[in-house]
Structure 1
Amino acid sequence: MTDPSYATPTSRPTLGRSFRLFRAHRVEQTDPDLFYGMLAADSVGQLSQYADLRGSRVLDVGGGPGYFANAFRAAGASYTPLDSDLGELSGLGDPEKGTVIGSGMSLPFRDDAFDVTYSSNVLEHVPEPWTMADEMIRVTRPGGLVFLSYTLWWGPWGGHETAPWHYLGGHRAADRYARTHGKRPKNDFGSSLFAVTAGAGLRWASSQTGADVLETMPRYHPRWAWWTLRVPVLREVTTWNLAIVLRKR
């Protein structure tokens, strides 16, 4: 189901790629240019394994900073970011033309509007993640691609900036962060961060009826490590970030 003619070196699931991405995640707060720039390039590379992005209409749900706009447009796509927070869209200065402010759980677009619907690390930030996933399928045209990935709660980065204390409870970790730093974390459990699991994503993927599942995978791991996703409990800790790739029927 994957067309190798679209593959790019940045997205091949090698150990070197995994190491570079893990290292970049460590500086998300201190060096966003490095982190988001690398993640955007890698995202385009991953999507290009499933579809030719040239001329495609791409919706990025939770678009965030402009790094993704630059990467998708460089690949020849027509790019529309959506976010609930204007500040996120202003990551590289003024928001991009055509940006949309709205809820991922009720996308303000007609049915079948986009060739590719993409979301990276957003599902764990909405209270109804699978409503958002259903909405992504709805606005994708028949034959179009849906790619969504999210950070698993029980993984080492599940608490985001409050990790690893989230293992003792999300609210406790957020309160500890506030005491330590004098402010609430950006990813505050119960309001802007929620516990989303691999099991829930796999159940949603197998039960939804609007699209065929092309692949489920630990997004940042080398290919030889993907077997861990098939082991309940273990996958919640080791997968770290789950990607679900679908093609709309």
Structure 2
Amino acid sequence: MPDLPFRPTFRRSWRLFQAFRVEQTDPDHFYGTLARDSVDQIGTYADLAGAWVLDVGGGPGYFADAFRADGATYNSLDADLGELSGLGDPEPGTVLGSGMQLPFADGSFDVTYSSNVLEHVNKPWTMAEEMVRVTKPGGLVFLSYTLWFGPWGGHETAPWHFLGGQRAARRYERKHGHPPKNVFGESLFAVTAASGLSWAHRQTGSDVVALIPRYLPRWAWWVLRVPGLREVVTWNLAIVLRKR
């Protein structure tokens, strides 16, 4: 294992799981933990010092701070101004737009990154293709998303999403007195590991560098080889590509 800050250990997995539990109640802890872990993980595949990074669905500035701390030039794109304003004014260089039609020229960025956004768009693999398109030849694409059949697939409605996304949303509203932030069929969709693996192998614009259960310890990465089991255990699939 390289001598880098990223260590795919059980302790790291538990820390991330605990952070996910407070996404709604303590977003500073959740997003800060996830941002630092994400940048450390990307650093195993690309040198971020001097790299121009596009974060698709970057939201508030937690990820901007983490990427810039490693020397990257950071731009983000988001479809929701409210999400971008979570820490005050949007970050400089932020663009409002659709991840399924990125408003950038071909080959613009050294690294394109997206974390836990793909499950929120209704054409996930169109967004994935767009990320490859705007990446420079030789650049890195790091795309990860939450699996529907994993423990956090329903986001704040989990684990009741296993009984159906709409049923889970109705239960959440009865309990809390308001709808969930992530509404199944509108801003949350059932994306699987199988669909991501299939897209990664059939796309032709880049080489597959790694397909990993993003938050699991290294010894558990074999689960991706087992259909069915991988949908439940993987939790979050990361697709790492090198643009041709």
TM-score, with normalisation over the residues of structure 2?
Answer: 0.98
Which residue of 1 is the match for residue 62 of structure 2?
67
Matched, 1:140 2:135: yes
Dislocated runs of 4+, deviation >2 Å: none
What CA distance in whole angstroms lies between the structure 1 residues aligned with 2:218 and 2:98? 34
Aligned residue runs from structure 1 range 179-194, under 5 A? 179-194=174-189
Range that drifts further, 54-63 or 25-34: 25-34
- Percent of paired sites with the same residue: 75
Which residue of 1 is the match for residue 152 of structure 2?
157
Could you tell me how far 1:148 is from its partner in structure 2? 0.5
1:80 partner SS: strand
What CA distance in whole angstroms lies between the structure 1 residues aligned with 2:10 and 2:175? 35
Q: Deviations over 1:103-147 (max 9, x none)?
A: 000000000000000000000000000000000000000000000
Q: Deviations over 1:3-50 (max 9, x none)?
A: x3xx532x2101111111111111111111111111100111011101
Aligned residue runs from structure 1 range 84-99, under 5 A? 84-99=79-94
Unaligned runs of 5+ in 1: none
Aligned length: 244
1:242 partner SS: strand
Structure 2 counterpart of 1:92, one-letter code? L
What CA distance in whole angstroms lies between the structure 1 residues aligned with 2:128 and 2:173? 31
Matched, 1:198 2:176: no
Could you tell me how far 1:87 is from its partner in structure 2? 1.0
Unaligned runs of 5+ in 2: none
Could you tell me how far 1:153 is from its partner in structure 2? 0.2
TM-score, with normalisation over the residues of structure 1?
Answer: 0.96
Matched, 1:42 2:37: yes
Which residue of 2 is the match for residue 53 of structure 1?
48
What CA distance in whole angstroms lies between the structure 1 residues aligned with 2:171 and 2:19? 25
Structure 1 counterpart of 2:177, one-letter code? G
What CA distance in whole angstroms lies between the structure 2 residues aligned with 1:167 and 1:204? 24
What CA distance in whole angstroms lies between the structure 1 residues aligned with 2:114 and 2:4? 20
Which residue of 1 is the match for residue 4 of structure 2?
8
What CA distance in whole angstroms lies between the structure 2 residues aligned with 1:66 and 1:97? 10
What CA distance in whole angstroms lies between the structure 2 residues aligned with 1:18 and 1:8? 17
What CA distance in whole angstroms lies between the structure 1 residues aligned with 2:72 and 2:222? 33
1:179 partner SS: helix
Q: RMSD in angstroms over aligned alpha carbons?
A: 1.0
